[in-house]
Amino acid sequence: MSQRIDYTQVSPAGAKALGGVYGYVVQSGLDPELVDLVYLRVSQINGCAYCLDMHTRDLVKKGVAIDKLALVQAWREAGRLFSERERAALAWAETVTQVAQTGVPDADFQAASAVFNEKELVDLTFAIGLMNTYNRLAISFRIPPEAARRAEG
């Protein structure tokens, strides 16, 4: 796979604006590991190889066990491996990412609101929207994942 466009070079102001949202999410008070799990799950839904590679590596660096990483996609069947907040965040990430199919029903909002306060839920939704945007950029412009670049030598 060869990269189509380096969007950071072509539109540095746009990339900087997205970086500002990323910076906001980082300082929002949400647990960084929870955010990275959400980024990974959103990237799984969207099939973004670049982001899957990056967020898996980030979670490994943070010490997340391979058992947990292997089950992110099937978190509902993973029992207590994921905390209540992680399960709520992953469910919210799924419904928001698939908004065209789900319409984000009241039941999903109520479930997320039972675990996150309003600010946390808004900030989590910013993170989900950001990752969906990054996924679309990486997929559209064929940004190669680090693992693929290494394999090509």
Structural domains present in the chain: 7-146 (1.20.1290.10)
Give CA separation, 104 vs 20, 81, 94, 124, in Å. 26, 25, 9, 14
Distance CA 124, CA 145 (A): 25
Distance CA 78, CA 110 (A): 22
Residue whose tokens read 């679309």: 136
pLDDT of residue 1 exceeding 70: no
The predicted-structure confidence for 71-90, as pLDDT tens digits, reads as follows 999 999 999 999 999 999 99
Please give the model's pTM, rounded to 2 decimal places: 0.94
Instruction: Give the percent of the chain with pLDDT over 70.
Output: 98
pLDDT recorded at residue 147 = 72
